[in-house]
Structure 1
Amino acid sequence: MATGWAGDGAVQDQIDATVKDAIERARSRLGTGPGRATCEECDAPIPEARRKAVPGVRLCVACQSALDKDEAGHAGYNRRGSKDSQLR
C-alpha cells in the first residue's frame, strides 16, 4: 500500500535499488588476475594462501584491514532521506 505520491511498491523498489547498488559496489572492488607477492603499501610478503583465496590481492592483511576501516565511514548514502539520517 503506497501513501502520498508514491506508487505501489515504491518502498520495495528503493530497497531493491539500494541492495543492487551495494552489490555492484562490492563487485567493483573485487580484484582479478594473479595477486601480488608483496604488499603495495608496506612491501610485506603476501602469503600464497591469501593470494589463492583473494584473486588480484594487492595488500597484506594489516593494510587491507586499515583500508577497510577507513572506507567504512564512506559506506554510501541513505536513499530514504529520513530526518534522522539528515541530522547526522
Structure 2
Amino acid sequence: MAGGWTRDGAVQDQIDDSVTDAVLAARARLPSGESEPFCEECGEPIPERRRAALPGVRTCIACQSDRDKTVAHSAINRRGSKDSQLR
C-alpha cells in the first residue's frame, strides 16, 4: 500500500531501481583489457592464475582486499523522504 502521491508498488519500484543502479555501477568498475604483471600499488607480481581469471586486473589480492573495504554508495535518494518528493 502506497501513500501520498505514489501509486501502489512505487516503493518496490524504488528498491528495484536502487538495486539495478548498484549492479550497473559494480559492473562498470570491473577491470577489462590486458592484465598487469605487477601490482599498481605495491609492485608485487600478480599471479598468472589471477591474471587469467580476471582480465584487466591491476592489483594483487592483498591490495584489492584493502580497496574492497571502502564501500561507495549512490548519491541518489530513493527512500521516499519528503526531500526527494519535493525535487
Shorter-chain TM-score: which interval? 0.7 to 0.9
Tell me the CA shift for residue 75 of structure 1: 2.9
Tell me the CA shift for residue 5 of structure 1: 1.3
Q: Which residue is 1:80 aligned to?
A: 79
Question: How far, CA to CA, are the matches of 2:41 and 2:62 in structure 1?
Answer: 10
Tell me the CA shift for residue 81 of structure 1: 5.8
Paired residues in the alignment total: 80
Q: Which residue is 1:55 aligned to?
A: 55
Q: Which residue is 1:85 aligned to?
A: none
What RMSD over aligned residues (CA atoms) do the two structures have, in Å? 1.6
Larger RCO (alpha carbons 8 Å, 6+ apart): 2
From the two aligned structures, give the one with the greater helix fraction.
Answer: 1
Q: Which residue is 1:43 aligned to?
A: 43
* Helix, strand or coil at the partner of 1:67: helix
* Helix, strand or coil at the partner of 2:74: coil
| Matching residue's letter, 1:51 | R
* Helix, strand or coil at the partner of 1:15: helix
1:55-80 superposed Cα distances (whole Å, 9 cap, x missing partner): 100000111011111x22x3335631
Q: Which runs of 5+ in 1 are unaligned?
A: 83-88
User: TM-score by structure 1 length?
Assistant: 0.80
Matched, 1:64 2:64: yes
Q: Which residue is 1:3 aligned to?
A: 3
Question: How far, CA to CA, are the matches of 2:68 and 2:74 in structure 1?
Answer: 14
| Matching residue's letter, 2:23 | I
User: TM-score by structure 2 length?
Assistant: 0.81
Question: How far, CA to CA, are the matches of 2:12 and 2:80 in structure 1?
Answer: 15
- Identical positions, percent: 60
